[in-house]
Chains A and B, each alone.
Chain A
Amino acid sequence: MNKIVLPPEASTPANWPEGLTRVPYWVFQDQSVYAEEQRKIFQGPNWHYLALEVELAEPGDFLTTHIGDTPVIVTHDTDNEIYAFENRCAHRGALICLENRGKHRKDFSCVYHAWNYDPQGNLTGIAFKDGIKGKGGMPDSFKMEQHGPRKLRIAIVHGLIFGSFSEDVPSIEEYLGEEILNHIERVLGGRKAVVLGRFTQVLPNNWKLYMENVKDSYHASILHLFFTTFELNRLSMKGGIIVDESGGHHVSYSAIDREAEKDVDYAKQQLRSESEYKLADPTLLESFDEYQDGCTLQILSVFPTFVLQQIQNAIAVRQIVPRAVDRTDLNWTYLGFADDTREQRLTRLKQGNLVGPAGYISMEDGCVGGFVQRGIAGASEDQAVLEMGGAEANSSESRVTEASVRGFWKAYRANMGI
């Protein structure tokens, strides 16, 4: 699993093909690229999703998560602010907090030597600091305020907590841009989210293959038969994609268009999607009009590793955490809202079948990245082709395009200096 595939001499990053329509396969395989991503992307000038505000609703609440490889503690302190800091003791580097989440926490104490931290990540105590009976202990020159885990900048957008290790990252509003912000607001704005469940899907592939998949509006109705057959997402529906200026963030959306259902494009294509398929219990797809805009699907991604999903009434956030070159954690948090009626909540539970590790329209996404990872095993010098819909990374009314995938690579290369 941890084999190191070195890029061939001819394909060093400096020699990435011109334009956005080719992606060299070594970028999914190379250990040194993975290490550089940790420095330049995950610890670089980007915002990373950490948690939902409702998961840290009260002072004393805390949870642990990751930004790339780096473990992070997120807290709600008694001053009612959210803080985050690296989950690494300033002494010898051990994890400070071993729990996933908890409440009523006033401080964090490293189990190794009981170095103690407040919920803002300040070092506040050292066991036997003054020694015992005047012997041993830390030297006077050691100043606690000069030591501590790295603290993160925090930004909160419509209940989503983002963090960054970088002092240079622009404000979250500037980072996301107005269009992306508006589409986050559309789903979460002014509402109190409720966590309905959390699941982790372990993907046998590089993290970027999952992000490509999220941004790939071309595959949805081809790979996911369930989606297409029940008219949740035909390419001929109204809809489109939005790619922000950086390329790194995107929205793909579709809305009901009864006229387009008579479209013959699909029949002509002879795609696998054309088979007959009926539900024994069609209540699975009975939804309520939550947003009054006819929009049945909105998939939104924020560079590098965050996804906000609305598929009918199935609302979820997805956090993507790289674990190794060929291994990625996909953390699903299914959401409802505090003002859901019992019927609406049941609708969300039923539509939960569409998504997640066993999702009718998402289980394939769990394996298809692995198919690529295995397919390219002997082809690190070869390249993926991204020409559907042209060569640019612009917003489009058509979803038969790989524009937002190209956008991802545009942002990726800008971050990596490639």
Chain B
Amino acid sequence: MHANSLQYITKAQADYARCIDDDRLEEWPSLFHGPCLYKITTASNYRDGLEAGIVFANSRGMLTDRVSALREANIYERQSYRHILGLPSILSEDGAKVKSETPFMVARILQDGDTSIYATGRYFDVYEIVDGVAQLHERTVVCDSSRIDTLLALPL
């Protein structure tokens, strides 16, 4: 294992979480590189090999559209997330390509202050390490529960 992979990935994870939690969603698509795959699914679908996602994007353009829709089209109560990430595990390393698994917990804060644990799960990621930076190519968000409270607006 490349000694620094874990460090690079940890930094990428922290940047990702801050981007969403700080409501800088317009920057979120730029965190993805290469062909780009982003999917949110459940542990049960993931285990059964079912392909569909709650969110499914195979281009950065689709991520941009997700943000535009949230900003301009979709109706939902104002809310924010707080991501708490666990330590990444490196699953495999092939040259500069690194696969990792990282546990997360996301609290959702609604405009009236009501705060709840909205989702827990794992990020299955594919990174490419380029000049000391872990660039995210693929992220599959696997939620532990199959139940989504009310709706899923902001990305996980």
Chain A interface residues toward B at CB < 8 A: 100, 195-204, 223, 225-226, 229, 275, 277, 279-281, 283-284, 329, 334, 345-346, 348-350, 352-353, 356-358, 360, 363-364, 366-368, 370
Residues of B within 8 A of A334 (CB): 52
Residue in B50, B61, B72, B74 whose beta carbon sits within 8 Å of that of A364 in the complex: B74
The reply to whether A280 and B50 form a contact with Cβ atoms under 8 Å apart is: no
Complex Cα spacing A366 to B54, Å? 14
A377 to chain B, nearest CB (A): 14
Residues of B within 8 A of A358 (CB): 40, 54-55, 148, 151-153
Residue in B56, B60, B153 whose beta carbon sits within 8 Å of that of A353 in the complex: B56
The reply to whether A202 and B44 form a contact with Cβ atoms under 8 Å apart is: no
The reply to whether A201 and B44 form a contact with Cβ atoms under 8 Å apart is: no
Interface residue ranges of B99-153 to A (CB < 8 Å): 146-153
The B contact surface, by secondary structure, is mixed
The reply to whether A364 and B54 form a contact with Cβ atoms under 8 Å apart is: no
Known: A225-B75, A363-B153; 10 extra A-B contacts, CB below 8 A, are A199-B148, A200-B146, A201-B148, A204-B149, A225-B72, A275-B73, A281-B61, A349-B51, A353-B57, A368-B75
The reply to whether B51 and A367 form a contact with Cβ atoms under 8 Å apart is: no
When A229-B73, A363-B151, A366-B150 are in contact, do A199 and B54 touch as well, CB less than 8 Å? yes
Complex Cα spacing A204 to B151, Å? 10
The reply to whether B72 and A277 form a contact with Cβ atoms under 8 Å apart is: yes
Residues of A within 8 A of B74 (CB): 225-226, 360, 363-364
Complex Cα spacing A348 to B69, Å? 19
The reply to whether A201 and B151 form a contact with Cβ atoms under 8 Å apart is: yes
Residues of A within 8 A of B40 (CB): 358
Complex Cα spacing A280 to B151, Å? 23
Residue in B53, B65, B147 whose beta carbon sits within 8 Å of that of A352 in the complex: B53
Asked if B13 lies at the interface with its beta carbon under 8 angstroms from chain A, I say no
Complex Cα spacing A169 to B151, Å? 35
Q: Mark B52-80, 1 if CB is under 8 A from A, else 0.
A: 11111111111011101100111111000
The reply to whether B69 and A356 form a contact with Cβ atoms under 8 Å apart is: no
Counting chain B CB atoms within 10 Å of each CB, which of A202, A280, A334, A366 scores highest? A280
The reply to whether A202 and B149 form a contact with Cβ atoms under 8 Å apart is: yes
Complex Cα spacing A334 to B50, Å? 10
Residue in B42, B53, B69 whose beta carbon sits within 8 Å of that of A349 in the complex: B53
Residue in A196, A329, A357 whose beta carbon sits within 8 Å of that of B52 in the complex: A196
* Nearest CB in chain A to that of B154: its residue: A358
User: Closest 6 interchain pairs by CB?
Assistant: A281-B61, A197-B52, A280-B61, A366-B151, A196-B52, A358-B152
